[in-house]
Amino acid sequence: MGISKHPSVVTMPQAERPFPSILTFLCGRFPAIPRETWEQRIAEGKVLGENAQRITQDTEYAPFSRIFYFREVCSEPVIPFAEKILHLDDEILVACKPHFLPVTPGGRYVDECLLNRLRRRTGIDALAPLHRIDRETAGLVLFSVNPKSRGIYGRLFRHGLVEKTYEAVAACRPDRETASWVVASRIVQGEPWFRMTTAPGEPNARSVIHLVEVKGERARFTLQPQTGKTHQLRIQMSGLGFGILNDRYYPELQDESVDDFDAPLQLVARLLRFKDPLSGRNREFVSERELLW
């Protein structure tokens, strides 16, 4: 049994009266976890409220209050690839994540995530990611080291002040050697729940995509997302007819199977560039992760 040493958190949203029980809320929020499991966790004191107060079956639902719980998995896969720390100071840490490793605990993963690996390596329990990339994607992730300055660095991402460049390889043969697209689309949750889809309406996902080079049956692209929707680049590349090599979700959902470590998704978060809000210095970090090119 793998049990996280650090709590995960979920916020109780506004709800119509009569409010549901906290047990009912947790079962609805996490449908993959059996009701009996939540009952046991509550009984064992593994579900906490604000100020680390123990939640019981009688604790009342409180909109906008937080619930803290410790993730548990019976059997956790081991990801046989290492992360690399590119930069560490008193305020931020920049790491290069390997393919297949999630940034934070989720699903079958508790200890095998970038956050908890870095906590163990550095001894910094206060680490927190300032943004996310997909488990299947490799590349750069920026972490906050100091909780006091976390909001300052977080605003960089919320206000689009971080230049992000990705690189991808698609198994395709474009009808031109170079080209560029400005893609604006509306991305919403699809079916099944972990797969996103496009929908009519006001765009909420924008990217600039450049075809850089064609070599045989493959093409190399750089991608510059202006927003940060889940699976944004994967969906938009697929929509252009350039599904990223080894993508098991887009354009078609593949049958569920164990990870094929010999066939990683050919997408890497290559560059982060921003003006440091505290020092005023221009910061630039580059991943050296290789793609199949």
Q: Which CATH superfamily is domain 2-73 in?
A: RNA-binding S4 domain (3.10.290.10)
Residue with tokens 């929020």: 29
- pLDDT, tens digit (0-9, with 9 covering 90-100), for 151-171: 999 999 999 999 999 999 999
CB 130 within 8 A of CB 95: no
Q: Give 7 or 85, the one with higher predicted confidence.
A: 85
Q: What is the 3-state secondary structure (H, E, C) of the chain?
A: CEECCCCEEEECCCCCCCCCCHHHHHHHHCCCCCHHHHHHHHHCCCEECHHHCECCCCCCCCCCCEEEECCEECCCCCCCCCCEEEEECCCEEEEEECCCCCCCCECCECCCCHHHHHHHHHCCCCCEECCCCCCCCEEEEEEECCCCCHHHHHHHHHCCCCEEEEEEEECCCCCCCCEEEEEEECEEECCCCCCEEECCCCCCEEEEEEEEEEECCEEEEEEEECCCCCCHHHHHHHHCCCCECCCCCCCCCCCCCCCCCCCCCCEEEEEEEEECCCCCCEEEEECCCCCCC
Per-residue pLDDT, 237: 97
pLDDT tens across 215-268, in order? 999 999 999 999 999 999 999 999 999 999 999 999 999 998 999 999 999 999
Q: Length of the chain, please?
A: 293
Residue 3 has pLDDT above 80, yes or no: no
pLDDT, residue 244, reads: 98
Structure confidence at residue 233 (pLDDT): 98
Confidence bin at 82 (pLDDT 50/70/90): very high
What does the angle CA 222 – CA 225 – CA 231 come to, to the nearest 5 degrees? 95
Whether the predicted pLDDT of 74 surpasses 80 = no
Nearest-10 crossing angle of helices 22-29, 35-43:
130
Q: pLDDT for 199-217, tens place per residue? A: 999 999 999 999 999 999 9
Rounded-to-integer distance, Cα 131 and Cα 44, Å: 33
What pLDDT does residue 177 have? 79
Q: Where does CATH 3.30.2350.10 sit in the chain? A: 84-161, 165-267
Residue 3 CB: number of other CB atoms within 10 A? 11
Q: Residue 159 CA to chain centroid, in angstroms?
A: 18
Hey, which CATH number is domain 165-267, 2.40.50.140, 3.30.465.10, 3.30.2350.10, 3.40.50.880? 3.30.2350.10
**pLDDT tens digits along 116-152:** 999 999 999 999 999 999 999 999 999 999 999 999 9
Is residue 84 pLDDT above 60, yes or no? yes
Residue 2 has pLDDT above 80, yes or no: no
**In the prediction, which pLDDT does 163 show?**
98
Structure pTM? 0.83
Residue 70 confidence class, pLDDT cut points 50, 70, 90: confident
**pLDDT at residue 1 above 60?**
no
Write down the pLDDT at residue 75.
Answer: 76
What is the model's pLDDT at position 235?
Answer: 97
Portions of the chain given CATH number 3.10.290.10: 2-73
Q: Which CATH number is 84-161's, of 3.40.50.300, 3.20.10.10, 3.40.50.2020, 3.30.2350.10? A: 3.30.2350.10
Q: What is the pLDDT of residue 230?
A: 94
pLDDT in tens, 89-100: 999 999 999 999
